[in-house]
Amino acid sequence: MSTSLQPLRLGKEGETGLFIEWNDGHRSVYTWKNLREQCPCASCREEKLKAEDPFRILTPEELKPKPPLAAVEITPVGYYAYKITWNDGHDTGIYTLENLRAMCECPECRSSATQNQQTSSA
Ligand SMILES: [Zn+2]
Ligand SMILES: [Zn+2]
């Protein structure tokens, strides 16, 4: 592989997401929703593994109207990752650069992801 991938610039993509410009010239875009859904922290991963209980009673906390999901802070963690603090207070997700690049939602990456699935020869 080439030299390690590093973001050159990172910022808000409109009101709904994030962009990252990489040192290889690629510009990644993300929506807050997808980033949050793919939060790599332990509690979010556990949450996803749990089967949804159809008879579960929503807590008053869950029934409260929520503001649209957004990140309030993105802080670098060493040279390899970013920590995202969300507007609902969640801040335990550490997104590695590798993960972020793999999660890229730009049209180019999304179409190459489907191509890879078809050929599946790494
Ligand atoms: Zn999380
Ligand atoms: Zn991309």
CATH fold of the domain at 7-53+64-116 = NE0471 N-terminal domain-like (3.30.2020)
Helix (H) or strand (E) holding 65: none
Task: Look at the chain and count its residues.
Answer: 122
Q: How far is the CA of 30 from the centre of ligand 2 (A)?
A: 9
Among the bound ligands, the one closest to the CA of 108: 2
CA 6/CA 30 separation, integer angstroms:
17
Among the bound ligands, the one closest to the CA of 5: 2
pTM score of the predicted model: 0.78
CA 24/CA 108 separation, integer angstroms:
14
Cα angle 16, 47, 97 (rounded to 5 degrees) comes to 50
pLDDT digits (tens, 9 = 90+) for 34-70: 999 999 999 999 887 887 777 788 888 888 887 789 9
Q: How far is the CA of 40 from the centre of ligand 1 (A)?
A: 6
pLDDT digits (tens, 9 = 90+) for 62-118: 888 877 899 999 999 998 999 999 999 999 999 999 999 999 999 999 998 766 655
